Amino acid sequence: MPRWSAGPFSLIKAEMQPAYETPQFTTSRSDAPAIEAGLIAVPVFQGQREQVDWVNQATNGEMGAAFDRAEFNGKAYEMWAAHPSGWRTSRLLLVGAGPEREFDAERARRIGACVGLASRSQKQQRIAVLLSDAWSEPHIEALAEGATLANYDNGHYKSKHDGRFFVSAIEIVTGHDIATAVERGQRLGEAINAARLLINEPGNRLTPREFVSRGEALVSVPGVTVETLDEHRMEELGMGLLLGVARGSTEPPRMLVARYEPVGAPATPVLGLVGKGVTFDTGGISIKPADGMERMKDDMAGGATVIAALRAIALERLPIRVIAIVPATENMPGGRATKPGDVHQSASGITVEINNTDAEGRLILGDGLWYAKELGATHLIDVATLTGAVVVALGKTTTGLFGTEGWGEIVEAAARRSGEKVWPMPLFDDYREALKSEIADLLNSPGRAAGAITAAMFLKEFVGTTPWAHLDIAGTAWAEDARAWTVKGATGVMVRTLVEVARSAGKNWP
């Protein structure tokens, strides 16, 4: 009987509907009445009625009346619709941009998403967005990204056509030369949508082999070479932690190794991105409760993030060498599964006592981080839905950031520029005491107290003196509820932060 089965199993044979489409962007300096589009959107800062007084005549005074009645005042993400007269378009949408002093890239991104989702709900294929001089290039890049993100739909497995609709063309009207910014935003939004699609996939469709196969396709762009390690190569390398997690599944593990080596890039630094790729996590022998276990299909979100980020970095042709590592496996309670009390040895030689098989992500990342260093990474970032403890600490809005001195601050600054929320967490040496095992070098799960921190401390054992940061996205990888700027499901969080780190290539890096 083979150790692992021959192939993935699925009974779904029908052709699925597309999950997303990337809209075609154009830029212009057209006047509003002359624009040919199904809908024109105009962002308005809070309380700045005079900013759009020129609209009042076209709406026969309706806009002014809306302001007078406080029906619309420009509060963030509120919307007001009208039918302008004398214009080539029949629909006008004012979108609140909030107070101008609070305006930043994240606000711009959400406005773009609001416009996109509203246009989809009104089934408008061609739309235009009129921007004031307050919108700089970074804001416009974020707007294009947000509008691209809005063109995503989770329902691609529904067998009946359910009125799904995508925006096909978006014209951005501004006095600036913003073609490059729009292109960057579109490219980043497309990469994030690709990550969201992977994260939303059910476990029977996205096995480790299928995950890595799709990852290979996504990073098959100029400048990138790809290699996939199978279970035999892992055994040769001594990756006992990754193989130990995979033992309980009939699906064999895989490790995606992608290298972006642009012509002319300096030999150093080399950015190593490592993403957790557990395509379904039952908890293993330490099995999870049934309630909510279906969400564990998203336990490969870190891996999808790394794949999408590498794609965006390569397509942007950033002058930095990058290595992306995604260890992929299921964590199942099979007859050969790792048992609590077992000891496994990592490729680095570190031995680990497994006292909780549901603390599996740190195990596979340990072998992944080691391999990234072996391949020459000089700076490391890992991304993982690692701990429920980080959700207790920071909730669903903020990613936990752990990092070595100097490098952690670089990653934090990149997140701030990209509009993503992170919060630095401590890595004091005292926390390492909890990792001590009586029979091995490390214990994989010291308990509930400071759980997110001790998980990060575990990973730190595999990086040595290499600058390293860990992003725990357990709380931010999934949106529990739909909002004006997003649908429920995978968020694609941290893709833009990783790209922003790469954009800062070498600047003040430790």
Residues tagged active-site: 288, 362
Query: What strand order describes the sheet that includes 126-130?
Result: 24-28, 169-173, 126-130, 39-44, 92-96, 79-82
Residue 491 token pair: 């968020």
For residues 238 and 138, give the distance between their C-alpha atoms in angstroms, rounded to a whole number. 45
| Number of residues in the chain | 510
**469 bridge partner residues:** 381, 403
Q: How far apart are CA 290 and CA 292, in angstroms?
A: 6
Encoded tokens for 293: 């276990």
Whole-number Å distance between alpha carbons of 303 and 255: 10
What is the Cα Rg of the chain in Å? Answer: 24
Cα separation, 184 vs 136, whole angstroms: 14
- Burial zone of 338 (CB within 10 Å; 0-12 exposed, 13-18 middle, 19+ buried): buried
HSE-CB of 459 using CA atoms within 13 angstroms: 35
Q: Residue 159 — φ and ψ, nearest 5°?
A: -80, -20
For 277, the 3-state DSSP assignment is strand
Question: In a 10 Å sphere around its CB, with 0-12 CB exposed, 13-18 middle and 19+ buried, how is residue 484 labelled?
Answer: middle
